[in-house]
Amino acid sequence: MTNVKDVACAIITSPEGKTLVVQRSAKMLLPLKWEFPGGKVEPGETPAACLAREIGEELQVRIRITGELRPREYAYETVTIRLIPFLAEITAGEIFLHEHADLGWFTHAELLLLDWAAADVAVVREYTGR
């Protein structure tokens, strides 16, 4: 039986049309890979509630969900991730990183050049239309 973990992620856009992504720290699994911020959905929690909680914990900001993309599954060696992507915008706070090495605001073309965590690749392609 496959171990499937639901993970909600935020595709946060700026008023200028750039997208926020974060880089995993060197000490995390998948070190220095880029990903959309988010985290694991806890039992009894909706993906949207998870996302609000995780973004608050990881980035110290509040978001408003503006849409969603289709969930995607990716099988790593020991776990399958069901990535549930939401489109969002920041409504309050200043970004402060707690867990990640770096962050950046990127155009669609720039997103395609980053070294992504494998589970995020299909979402990046759908989001950028590639």
What does the pLDDT read at residue 124? 97
What does the pLDDT read at residue 71? 97
| Amino acid in position 110 | E
Q: Is 108 exposed, middle or buried (0-12, 13-18, 19+ CB in 10 A)?
A: middle
Residues of the chain with pLDDT under 50: 1
What does the pLDDT read at residue 1? 46
Q: Is 48 exposed, middle or buried (0-12, 13-18, 19+ CB in 10 A)?
A: middle
- Domains of the chain plus CATH, in order, are 4-128 (3.90.79.10)
What does the pLDDT read at residue 25? 93
What does the pLDDT read at residue 2? 64
